[in-house]
Homo-oligomer: A and B are copies of this chain.
Amino acid sequence: MPELPPGVDVLWGRREPAKRGPRPNLSIEQIVDAAIEIASAEGLGPLSMNRVAEKLGKSAMSLYRYVRTKDELLQVMTDVCAVKNAPPEPDDDAGWRPNLERWAYELVGLYRRFPWVLHVPLGPTPPVGPGQLTWLDRGLGCFRRTNVPSELRLGVVMLLLIFIRGQVRMAQEVNQGAAGAALGYPAYGEMLRLVVDKDQLPDLARLVDEGMFDDPEEGMSEQELDMEVRFGLTMIFDGIERLVAGYEEEQ
C-alpha cells in the first residue's frame, strides 16, 4: 500500500488505534474542532498551534502526535467542514438545473459561513477528502437523468466550484474594504474619483461618475451579496444550458 498524502488517512478513518502505551487524552476531532472554532471566530491569522493547544489546555507540541504538520491540520479542517455541511441530495424528479442551482447556493452558504476555508493554502494534491469529494459527487449527480458525457459533467461542476469560490471571496474582499473604510480610509468610490483619469481610463471613469462604486462600501447586506452571486450564476447556468441542451432527457 503506497503512502498517502498527509491527512488522508485521518479523514477516511484509516489510522489504526495504538495498541500499547498510555491512553490518549486528546483526539483529532477535538483538535480540529478547536481549530475550526478559532478560525471561524478570528480568521486564519491568529490560528497558531499554540492557540489551539492553549484552547485545549495542552502544550503546543502535543498536537504533533495527531497531526504531521500545521498544513495537514488546515487540510483536515476544510474537509471536516465540508463533511459537517453536506451537499443536498439531488432530487431525481427535478431537472438538472434546479438541482444544480440548489447545490450551488448551498455551497455559497457554506463559504459564507466559513470564510477562512477560502484562505487555506492549497495542499500538495487535489482534494481527496470525503467532504470535498461528496460535494463533487452530488454536483455530478445532478446530471444523472441526462446523457451529458462525463467530461462535460466534470467541466461544468468544476466551473461552478471555481466561480463560487472566487465570487464569495471577492465579496469578502469588498466587505473587508468597507471595514477598512471605518478605519480612516476614504470609501472606494471616493478613492477612485481621486485617481481615475477621464483620458486614461475613460470607460471606468464613466462608471465612477455614475456612482457605481459608491454604495457597496456601506457594508453590503446579505441580500445584495446574494444578488451579485445570482447574477454570475444565472449567466453561467444560461451558458451551461445551451451547452447541454442536446443531451437532456434522452434516457
A17 to chain B, nearest CB (A): 20
Beyond A180-B125, A201-B137, A207-B140, whether A185 also contacts B5 by CB under 8 A is: yes
Q: Is A165 an interface residue (CB 8 A)?
A: yes
A235-B232 in contact (CB<8A): no
Oligomer copy total: 2
CB-contact partner of A210 in B133, B150, B169, B200, under 8 A: B150
Chain B hits for A163, CB < 8 A: 159, 162-163, 166
A196 interfacial contact with B, CB 8 Å: yes
From 126 to 164 in chain A, residues with beta carbon under 8 angstroms from any chain B beta carbon are 126, 128, 130, 133-134, 136-138, 140-141, 143-144, 150-151, 153-156, 158-159, 162-163
Quick one: closest B residue to A164, CB to CB? B166
**Proximity bits, A1-43, B CB within 8 Å = 1, else 0:** 0111100100010000000000000000000000000000000
Interface residues on A, range: 35 or more
Check A240/B232 contact, CB under 8 A, given A137-B203, A170-B158, A195-B128.
no
Question: Which residues of A pack against B, CB within 8 Å?
Answer: 2-5, 8, 12, 119, 121-122, 124-126, 128, 130, 133-134, 136-138, 140-141, 143-144, 150-151, 153-156, 158-159, 162-163, 165-167, 169-170, 172-174, 176-177, 180-181, 183-186, 188, 190-192, 194-196, 200-204, 206-207, 210, 212, 228, 231-232, 234-240, 242-243
7 nearest A-B pairs in the assembled complex, by CB-CB distance: A239-B239, A162-B166, A235-B239, A140-B203, A137-B204, A137-B201, A166-B166
